[in-house]
Chain A
């Protein structure tokens, strides 16, 4: 915790995303004309501090993964900026981008497709070190073994192939690969969602330990509220390509302001039969991002919908005494 306050004191967040948009063209017809746009991410702004975990939650298809991948410029953004340590990632040339990639990494959901089946674990973990000329020869071998030990694998595993490992072990290999370049920021894209519960706990603890040891900042993308409650300092809730609410974890869980967040929280299972009851059940399906509702995107399913919601987009409202701490996009609070 000391590390966090130390970094926040000098004011600059590690990463500031402003007005990020990512539209996918829908092509149709003989000449593949663009007939419509899927607004997967529409005007999202986030900040992530040094050594902080920001949880990004929302249901399937709301654009969480697109946010993570666009920030790392694994997809080209449609608009917006991402300032990482003073540089706008979206404007970097090929060479600068490669250098910047050393500082930001990604861990994937599916441990089966995230490792090249034709490479040994040693070369998977060692490849980034070799490409960025950080180590070679026996030094490379040493570093790879250190990384494997650090993520809870045995050094002699380096000559093995991915198919010889279980899901949890593969996820550890994926973590070791992401750690190899000693990044400052890692996007965890549903990093524990594909694992069974006991392995999930191990991986979450591993991620937490690594965060302390290497001062990592995480963007933790998930749909599992229990996981973010344990890991994240702040949580951002997304609905249909837009942010609904951003708040520190405790605030969000105790005092959610957006009706969508309230519904999400009420849907989170509590392991106590006597505490069931006041669930907010949302009607209908998520509207298509091809043709999102006018006004507030949530108004078609919102239990507290008002007339203004159907015409005007909700403004950003700051709640509480501290500026930018608890943000909500909802007409109920304006």
Chain B
């Protein structure tokens, strides 16, 4: 009897293990297979660099000045050189060329696009940060403590019905109303977008928590006497975070679009501060005379939103265990 067990134990020792791979390595391996998502990643990396460089170069170390008005050079097409008058006044653009042309006041569109990149990205990330935080908090509460009674209804009912109410509002018009009432500032826009886009995340997290709470490893953790806080943050949140990450990535694209739309309508970030939305808005009047004013920010928004969506899809594929080979 004992001998037999020792034999089987030794057999186990011989059983080959699969190659050692941490979840991160596995994620990278699967993600790399998705060429389009990797391309999206590269685009986003470039955008990050551009946004950071834009913030530094237009605001602190003024290399590209967004606010110099060069009336003689208004509506210069992309890659044109400054006129003699501008050169004489010593207000020529950096590198001596208008990379993306100039607008109706002769301002350098390239400098303004750089400045706008930072605005778009920071609004995207901070708004989504706020919405993910609220979503995880409410979804987690609803999923984990949902059965607790609160007067005549359960915590779950209360939170999920509130979520339904929030979903009923046409978000964009709600944002428009709120922004119209508040003083226009970039922070208000971030907060308003964040406060109106957490519902999807909350539902995701609630669903994940409901299914995780019944999983054997969570029950095992309870049986081991592991405190509730640790069960939630060590065992449940890491396993619920994957779909949240995917929806957050796609949410960034949505927030960038919302901000552009708000700026386009004039409710967003106020001039002279440049964002992609208000460059587009300024350019719409000159679409036949100076098409670059319209197409450059429009194309930038398109590429960035597409890149975020592609990366989101790639993440979904790499993080979803059901799509994996094992």
Contacts and interface: CB of A to CB of B under 8 A. Distances in A.
Nearest to A117: B239
Interface string B227-239: 1001000110011
Contacts of B224: 101, 105, 127-128, 131, 177, 180-181
B220 interface: yes
A72 interface: yes
A5 B226 CA distance: 35
Contact-size category for A: 35 or more
A108 B219 CA distance: 10
Contact of B226 (A114, A131, A159, A206): A131
A205 interface: yes
A113 B326 contact: no
Interface string B208-230: 00000001110111111111001
A132 interface: yes
Interface stretch (A82-90, A163-171, A284-292): A163-171
A98 B225 CA distance: 5
B12 to A, nearest CB: 4
A184 to B, nearest CB: 14
Contacts of B239: 116-118
B8 A152 contact: yes
Contacts of A106: 219-220, 223
Nearest to B13: A154
A209 interface: yes
Contacts of B154: 32
Interface in B43-94: none
A167 to B, nearest CB: 11
A205 B8 contact: yes
A177 B12 contact: no
A258 interface: no
Contacts of A253: none
A160 interface: yes
A243 interface: no
Contacts of B2: 209
Most interface-central of A97, A116, A172 (chain B CB within 10 A): A116
Contacts of B230: 131
Given A152-B13, A202-B8, A202-B12, A72 B220 contact: no
Contacts of A205: 1, 4-5, 8
B151 interface: no
A74 interface: yes
A98 B221 CA distance: 11
A118 B238 contact: yes
Contacts of A318: none
A235 interface: no
Given A74-B223, A177-B224, A114 B20 contact: no
Contacts of B289: none
B168 interface: no
A118 B321 CA distance: 12
A261 to B, nearest CB: 28
Nearest to A111: B216
Contact of B12 (A99, A117, A131, A172): A172
B225 A108 contact: no
B222 A74 contact: yes
B9 interface: yes
Nearest to A124: B217
Nearest to A174: B220
A115 interface: yes
Contacts of A160: 17, 20
Contacts of B225: 97-99, 101-102, 128, 131-132
Given A101-B224, A116-B239, A108 B15 contact: no
B226 A113 contact: no
Interface string B123-159: 0000000000000000000000000000000100100
A117 B216 CA distance: 12
A165 B216 contact: no
A265 interface: no
A301 B20 CA distance: 53
A117 B235 CA distance: 9
A72 B215 contact: no
B62 to A, nearest CB: 47
A313 interface: no
Contact of B220 (A108, A118, A132, A208): A108
Interface string A136-162: 000000000000000011100101110
A114 B17 contact: no
A110 interface: yes
A160 B235 CA distance: 17
Interface string B1-42: 110110011011101011111110000000000000000000
A245 B18 CA distance: 46
Given A74-B222, A105-B224, A128-B225, A164 B20 contact: yes
Interface of A: 32, 69, 72, 74, 97-99, 101-102, 104-106, 108-110, 113-119, 127-128, 131-132, 152-154, 157, 159-161, 163-166, 168-169, 172, 174, 177, 180-181, 201-202, 205-206, 208-209
10 contacts: A98-B227, A105-B224, A108-B219, A116-B217, A117-B321, A159-B20, A164-B19, A164-B21, A202-B5, A205-B5
Given A72-B223, A108-B220, A161-B22, 20 more contacts: A74-B222, A97-B225, A99-B225, A101-B223, A105-B223, A114-B216, A116-B221, A116-B235, A127-B221, A152-B13, A160-B20, A163-B18, A163-B326, A169-B15, A174-B220, A177-B224, A181-B224, A201-B8, A205-B8, A208-B1
Per CB-CB distance, the 5 closest pairs between chain A and chain B, nearest first, are A101-B225, A114-B216, A98-B225, A152-B9, A128-B224
